[in-house]
Amino acid sequence: MSNVPGFTARVYHLFLRAYPPNYIETFGNEMYSTFIEGTEETQSQSALISYIIREFREMPKALLKAYWHACKNKILNGIQLLSEATRTSDLAPAPPDGRESWLQAVLELSPFLISGLLLILISYLPFDGMRAGWQRDLGFLGKVIIPLTLPAFIIGMMRGLPRWAYPFGGLFLSYQALVAFQSGQWLFLIVMLFASVILAAATIFTSPQPFLLPVQLQRIGQSLSLDWTRLSYGFYGAMPLLIIMAFDDSHLNNRTPYLALSVLIMVGSALIYCRSRDLTMQIMPLLAGLTLIICGAWLDQVSFAGGLMNWDTSPPPRIGETTWMLLLWIQWVFLILSPVLLISVGRVFNQKHPV
Assigned domain for 92 exists: no
Together in a domain, 60 and 201: no
Together in a domain, 73 and 178: no
Helix residue spans in the chain (DSSP H): 6-16, 21-44, 48-85, 102-124, 138-158, 165-182, 186-205, 215-226, 229-236, 239-246, 250-253, 258-275, 279-303, 321-352
Assigned domain for 58 exists: yes
pLDDT, position 289: 94
Assigned domain for 293 exists: yes
Residue range(s) defining the domain that contains residue 225: 102-352
Residue 308 three-state SS? coil
Predicted confidence (pLDDT) per residue in 274-294, tens digit: 999 887 788 999 999 999 999
Together in a domain, 233 and 321: yes
pLDDT, position 149: 93
CB-CB contact of 246 with 311 (8 Å): no
Together in a domain, 142 and 229: yes
Together in a domain, 79 and 136: no
Show contacts of 44-48: CB within 8 Å, 24+ apart: 44/3, 48/5
Amino acid symbol at 193: L
The arithmetic mean of pLDDT across residues 92-103, rounded, is 83
Together in a domain, 126 and 78: no
Question: Shortest CA distance to 233 belongs to which of 323, 166, 176?
Answer: 166
Question: Shortest CA distance to 104 belongs to which of 232, 226, 238, 273?
Answer: 273
CB-CB contact of 292 with 236 (8 Å): no
Domain count, the chain: 2
**To 5 degrees, how large is the angle CA 191–CA 192–CA 196?**
115
Together in a domain, 199 and 342: yes
Together in a domain, 43 and 12: yes
Predicted confidence (pLDDT) per residue in 40-79, tens digit: 777 665 677 777 777 777 788 888 888 887 777 776 666 6
Together in a domain, 53 and 133: no
Which residue, 25, 51, 85, sits at the end of a domain?
Answer: 85
Assigned domain for 90 exists: no
pLDDT, position 313: 46
Which residue, 39, 60, 85, sits at the end of a domain?
Answer: 85
What whole-number distance in Å separates Cα of residue 105 and Cα of residue 275? Answer: 7
pLDDT top residue among 267 and 138: 267
Q: Say whether pLDDT at 219 is over 50.
A: yes
